[in-house]
Structure 1
Amino acid sequence: MSHTTILLAEDNTSIRELVTESLQDEGFEVIAVDCGNRAADVLASEQTVDLLFSDIYMPGQLNGVQLASKGRALRPALKVLLTSGNPTRDFTPPEDLPFLPKPFGMGEMLRMVHQVLQHAR
C-alpha cells in the first residue's frame, strides 16, 4: 500500500509516535502533527493526504470533528478516521465519520485504517 499518505493529528506524544511507527511499518507515509491547527495547515497545502486520522479532543482551536469538516470542505474525497479515549465527555461520533475508541491495539488500528481507506465515501 505504497504512496498512501496519512495525516495523523494526535496531541499525546507517545501515542503519536507509536501510531506513526505502526503505520510506517505497514508501508504508509505519515505526516504526524500535535494539534488540529497544524493538521488544518497541512490540509490547506498542496501536500497529498489520503486519510485524516485524528484525535477528537486536542489543544488549539480545532477539535477532530471540526478538523474533519474543514478537511472535507477543502478535499471532498478525504477519508477520515476519528479516535478518542475520553468516554466521560458527551460525544456521539457523526454517523458518516468512522470512530476508533482508545485504547486500541495496533492490529485493531491497522485493520480500521485499511477498512476506511478501502470504503468508498
Structure 2
Amino acid sequence: MSNPHPLPHADRTPRTILVVEDEILIRMLISDELRDAGFEVIEAASADDALGVLASGHPIDLVFTDVRMPGSIDGAELASRIKKNHAEMQVILTSGHLPAHEALSIAPFIAKPYSIAKAIALIDATLGSISDLGLSA
C-alpha cells in the first residue's frame, strides 16, 4: 500500500513534532499520520508531560497541543511558556471548546474536529516548508 502523504521533508532531517493530547485515540491518530508524512513525533498526554519533554533538551520544532487537558496547566499556558522560554519553537493550538479568536491571539489554531490533511498542512506551513503536500481536505 502506498503512503497517502508524500514526505514533506524527505531531503533533510525530519522535523520533530511534540503532540500534546489527553485523548489517546486522537493522539495516536494524528501522531501516526504525522509519522507517515515524514515527521518525527514525540507524544505527551498532558501539558505537564510536555514540559518534561521540553526540559529533556530533545530538539522540538513544533508543539501541536490541545487546549483543555487535565493537569496543573492547559495547552494555552503551555503555549505561553514555550513562547517565553523557547522562542524559536513553533506552537499550534487545537480545541473543540475554545473560540478561534481567543486561540489565535496565542498561536495558530485548528478547531476540532479537524481533518488530518488540514492539520498536517497547517503544521507544514507553520514550519515554513515550501513543499506541496498534495493533500485534499
Superposed displacement of residue 3, structure 1? 2.2
- After TM superposition, the score normalised by the length of structure 1 is 0.90
Gaps of 5+ in 2: 1-8, 130-137
Q: 1:96 to 1:60 in 2, by over 3 A?
A: closer
What is the CA–CA distance in structure 2 between the aligned matches of 1:39 and 1:7, rounded to whole Å? 8
Asked whether 1:113 is paired with 2:123, we answer yes
**Which of 75, 84, 90 is the matching residue for 2:86?**
75
**Which of 73, 79, 101 is the matching residue for 2:111?**
101
Number of residue-to-residue matches in the alignment:
118
Superposed displacement of residue 96, structure 1? 4.7
* Contact 1:52–1:81 (CA under 8 A) maintained in structure 2: yes
What is the CA–CA distance in structure 1 between the aligned matches of 2:116 and 2:42, rounded to whole Å? 18
How big is the alpha-carbon RMSD for the aligned residues of Structure 1 and Structure 2?
A: 1.9
Please show how residues 22-33 of structure 1 align to structure 2 within 5 Å. Answer: 22-33=33-44
Letter in 2 for 1:92: E
Letter in 1 for 2:33: S
Please show how residues 1-121 of structure 1 align to structure 2 within 5 Å. Answer: 1=9, 2-87=13-98, 92-118=102-128
Gaps of 5+ in 1: none
